[in-house]
Structure 1
Amino acid sequence: MTTAAGLAGTSGWTQAGVALAGVGAGLINTVVGSGTLITFPVLLAAGLPPVTANVSNTLGLVPGSVSGAWGYRRELAGLGPLVRRLGTAGLAGGLTGAVLLLALPAKTFEAAVPVLIAGALALVLLQPLLAKRLAARPADRPRPENGGRALLIGVYLCGIYGGYFGAAQGVLLLGLMGVLLDLPLQRINGVKNVLALAVNGIAALFFIADGRIDWRAALLVAAGSVVGGQIGALVGRRLPAPVLRGVIVAVGVVAITRVVMS
């Protein structure tokens, strides 16, 4: 369960910092993914235990996912059957990951966090190379219209990761769908936002039922992520990608250092 005071016992500046981190996470999640690498370290720095920070962050980012998915509604036109098919796999994976997070000892998650963050940072750094390779793929290579069974399984596995931790799950989904779907990247990004919403949403419902949410933290992240989601949908694609990646890597390194030294 959460501590007695939780984030409610912190200063106004700390809480404002959490909300601002939510804005950054909502923006980054909408554009590509890995916003958790902004909010999770901030929640740790605010004094929340790792598991409490993770579950509160997951719930807080759900409204931002809704905001980002709505911002990409034009790109999603006509993709209803595909979104429902992949969304089912994402829901199943997200629930599996959430169950694993709360069923395994907290020390297991604490030990895994530096590895998970390091892996997520590697994905963020490799994302430009991945995007370049996707753009150079042969146009005549046949691919199933809905991605086939491989995509369904891949989305389920990404959902497990997303329900358990979630940092850079958007990068994973973009890479997976970019290889297996014959769609423009912006339409794939719209599908990614809906899948992230499904994964985070089902995991958040499970965490609420379990009762480990720090509600002040979740609400502050939520308020910020809604704003960030709209910014990401409107202007996020115009922001310099190296700047975004630099911020993500910086806060990720801080998070790893804090967890290792705590």
Structure 2
Amino acid sequence: MSPLELSIAALAAAAAGAVNALAGGGTLISFPVLLALGIPPIAANVTNAVALSPGYLGATLAQLGNLRGQRERLLLCIPAAVIGGLVGAVILLHTRERTFVALVPYMLFFAAVLLAFQNRVRAWVVRRLAESRHAHHSRFVPVIAVAAAGVYGGFFTAGMSVLVLAILGATVEDSLTRLNALKQIIAFSVNIAAAVFFLFSDQLIWLLAGVMALGAMVGGALGGRVASRLNPDTLRWIVVVVGVALAIFYWFRN
């Protein structure tokens, strides 16, 4: 790739890192940019997933205090998330390029919808927890659901955190703060499992992933610093509109 293309990819990753730090949905920015640069869709998805995965570490570390007392859930959900992420990654690498191209607009649209309903999902989780404090669920129901969400996340990461939070809210009784921490480490586990698997594939563009990873870390740091000055909801809706517009564009393009 030319220095100009690498610079554009790095800027896109920086924007994605900042958006992830502020509102989520950064993949809806960086992935389409890679497609626009002429990167084959599966290689673009793999490279994007690897490049943005370190960004989940900081958010996970920040939530460690809220994971106290959740040892049993962690022992059940983390392996399920890892297995789901690996299965999703395997499915991705065994998907034909033509099939993946056909799925791109639908995945972008689905991720945009998940991001659009992010606040409503949180509000629903809060209401449900308040209304069903004495409900009992099988400990294996969330494990199965987490594994299923992990398959989606290993295949295409955008919107997975919202999906996992909805699953936890429906199947686990606890505070939103603790469920959010659990969601974060589950999303981290899925992304890292898929990213490590992708390291051994021939679809990863190493130089591009390295440049984008640096950009994403810079963007994430900047996003964290300006978080108090920006309205996350406004930014989130901008990303949603961009995601829907890109989904429509790729739908007609296909």
The answer, yes or no, to whether TM exceeds 0.5 is yes
How much is the aligned-residue C-alpha RMSD, in angstroms? 2.6
Distance 1:237 1:122, change over 3 A: farther
- Answer with 240-249 or 204-213: which moved more: 240-249
The 5-angstrom pairing of residues 9-28 of structure 1 reads 9-11=2-4, 14-28=5-19
From 243, 255, 260, the counterpart of 2:234: 243
Please name the residue that 1:57 is paired with.
48
Query: Is 1:261 paired with 2:246?
Result: no
Indicate how the Cα distance of structure 1 residues 255 and 214 shifts in structure 2: closer, same or farther if over 3 A, else same: farther
8 Å Cα contact 2:129-2:174 kept in structure 1:
no
**Equivalent residue, structure 1, for 2:25:** 34
Shift of the 162–138 alpha-carbon distance from structure 1 to 2, 3 Å rule, reads closer
Residues of 1 paired with 2:12 and 2:177: CA distance? 25
- The alpha-carbon distance between structure 1 residues 71 and 225, as it changes in their structure 2 partners (threshold 3 A), is farther
The equivalent residue for 1:4 is none
Give structure 1 stretches of 5+ with no counterpart: 1-7
Change (3 A) 1:151 1:49: same
Give the CA deviation at 1:137.
Answer: 2.2
Change (3 A) 1:62 1:243: same
Query: Residue 85 of structure 1 is aligned with which of 76, 83, 86?
Result: 76
Tell me how far 1:183 sits from its aligned partner. 2.9
Task: With the length of structure 1 as denominator, give the TM-score of the two structures.
Answer: 0.84
Q: Is the 8 A contact 2:129 2:175 kept in 1?
A: no
Which stretch shows the higher mean deviation, 73-82 or 112-121?
73-82
Shift of 1:39: 1.4
**Which of 131, 137, 141 is the aligned partner of 2:122?**
131
What SS does the corresponding residue of 2:90 show, helix, strand or coil? helix
Identify if the C-alpha distance between structure 1 residues 84 and 21 changes in structure 2 by more than 3 Å, giving closer, same or farther. farther
Say if 2:25 and 2:236, in contact at 8 Å, map to a contact too: no
Aligned residue pairs total 252
Distance 1:186 1:24, change over 3 A: farther
Aligned partners of 1:10 and 1:46 also within 8 Å: no
Call closer, same or farther: CA 1:105–1:192 in 2, change over 3 Å. same
Kindly indicate whether the alpha-carbon contact (under 8 Å) linking 2:25 and 2:159 is maintained by their aligned counterparts in 1: yes
- Offset at residue 160 of structure 1 (A): 0.5
1:16 Cα deviation (Å)? 3.4
Change in 2 beyond 3 A, CA 1:238/1:114: same
% identical equivalent positions: 35
What's the CA shift for 1:179?
Answer: 2.6
**Partner of residue 45 from structure 1, selected from 36, 39, 42:** 36
Q: Which moved more, 1:192-201 or 1:166-175?
A: 192-201
Q: State the alpha-carbon separation in 2 of the partners of residues 128 and 66 from structure 1.
A: 23
User: Where does the alignment leave 5 or more consecutive residues of structure 2 unmatched?
Assistant: none
Letter in 1 for 2:31: F
